[in-house]
Amino acid sequence: MEDRVSISISDGIADVRLVRADKMNALDAAMFEALVAATDRLSKQKGVRVVVLSGEGRAFCAGLDMGRFAAMKDGGNGVPGGENRDLTIRTHGKANFAQQAVWGWRQLPVPVIAAVHGVAFGGGFQLALGADMRFLSPDARMSIMEIKWGLVPDMAGTPILASLVRDDILRELTYTGRIFSAQEAQAYGLATRVCDDPRAAALEVAREIAGKSPDAIRAAKRMLNNLSVDPAAALLAESVEQQKLLGSPNQTESVRANLEKRAPRFADVR
């Protein structure tokens, strides 16, 4: 886990860092494993009152590792944990394994603040959504980028996005995969703050939260988590739709076209 995610705990604050800086913290199999392991560890860790989640290097998280897309080029599914894994199998309660890498942060009994700089694309954007709050640098860029690869967001993003973003904005961002700025993210309801040093700001707020009654903070998170509709159906729907897309002719054509830097040639859908 330590070669993908580091955790240091001091004064009730868990400082969690994605440390695959040479790959812009992209999501490979080891990163998925490390993220799930991190939330499992923190859920049982005594004395943790708040979590700050950030990435080392040039970006928060660039999304799915390019090696995964290369595996899809000839019809492989690139699914974490094995090429033939069934996404509809619930490995973690309501979530599958990949979803747990995001949903696990929502399940933690304490608040999570994501400090986002550089890019948060695709799965990296969904990872930021798993936090209670998102602090963005002014030059941060985000995207629901899955459509570029002939896919849909399937890492628990949709039930969270539905509670944050106006329906038509969510549809536009999902259908186009458009990259949007930190300022747009704040206007859409996706950024809590835009600040010059998001990690420093997140740690400052974390210290404030850590100074409050831990019983009340945990009670508040339970209460606020229960305001949203039961996500089980949305999480399963993500998996069902993605399972049908992975390895399909138009999905593999999306991948080939991107890797070959050409316009895609899609078959008509009847």
Share the mean pLDDT of the chain: 93
**Sequence-distant contacts of 73-78: CB under 8 A, at least 24 apart:** 73/252, 73/255, 73/256, 73/259, 74/252, 75/247, 75/252, 76/247, 77/246, 77/247, 78/246
> Which regions of the chain carry the CATH code 3.90.226.10?
5-209
Confidence of residue 47 (pLDDT cuts 50, 70, 90): very high
pLDDT tens-digit readout, 142-155: 999 999 999 999 99
Sequence-distant (6+) residues with CB within 8 A of 221 are 108, 109, 110, 111, 132
Mean pLDDT of 31-57: 97
What pLDDT is stored for residue 87 in this prediction? Answer: 93
Beta strands 119-121 and 112-116, pairing class: unpaired
* Cβ neighbourhood burial of 84 (10 Å; 0-12, 13-18, 19+): exposed
Query: Over the stretch 83-96, which tens digit does the pLDDT of each residue have?
Result: 457 999 999 999 99
Name the CATH topology of 213-260: Lyase 2-enoyl-coa Hydratase; Chain  A, domain 2 (1.10.12)
> Which 8-state DSSP code applies to residue 61?
B
pLDDT above 70 covers what percent of the chain? 95
> Greatest CA separation found in the chain?
59
Model confidence pLDDT, tens digit, residues 187-205: 999 999 999 999 999 999 9
Q: How confident is the model at residue 76 (pLDDT cuts 50, 70, 90)?
A: low
Res. 213: pLDDT tops 90 = yes
Where along the chain do the CATH 1.10.12 domains lie? 213-260
Question: Would you state the pLDDT for residue 84?
Answer: 56
With a cut of 80, say whether residue 45 has pLDDT above it: yes
Total length of the chain: 270
Instruction: Indicate whether 77 pLDDT > 80.
Output: no
Confidence of residue 172 (pLDDT cuts 50, 70, 90): very high
Mean per-residue pLDDT, 72-79? 62
Report whether pLDDT(74) > 80.
no
Give the span between the Cα atoms of 144 and 179, in whole angstroms: 8
pLDDT in tens, 101-116: 999 999 999 999 999 9
How far apart, in whole angstroms, are the C-alpha atoms of residue 258 and residue 180?
A: 20
Identity (one letter) of the amino acid at 107? Answer: Q
Q: How is 198-252 classified by DSSP, letter by letter?
A: HHHHHHHHHHHHHTS-HHHHHHHHHHHHTTSPPTHHHHHHHHHHHHHHTT-HHHH
User: Which tens digits make up the pLDDT trace of 236-264?
Assistant: 999 999 999 999 999 999 999 999 999 99
Give CA–CA dist 107/111, Å, rounded.
Answer: 10
Is the pLDDT assigned to residue 82 strictly greater than 80? no
User: Which residue(s) pair with 119 in the sheet?
Assistant: 141
Distance CA 92, CA 33 (A): 13
- Give the pairing of strands 193-194 and 133-136: parallel
The residues near 139 (Cβ < 8 Å, ≥ 6 apart) are 117, 118, 182
Segment among 11-15, 162-166, 266-270 with least mean pLDDT: 266-270
pLDDT of 75 > 70? The answer is no
Regarding predicted confidence, which is higher, 214 or 75?
214
141 Cβ contact list (under 8 Å, min separation 6)? 118, 119, 120, 121, 179, 180, 181, 182
pLDDT of residue 78: 59
Superfamily of domain 5-209: 2-enoyl-CoA Hydratase; Chain A, domain 1 (3.90.226.10)
Q: Taking the mean position of all CA atoms in its chain, how far away is CA 170?
A: 16
The amino acid at residue 9 is I
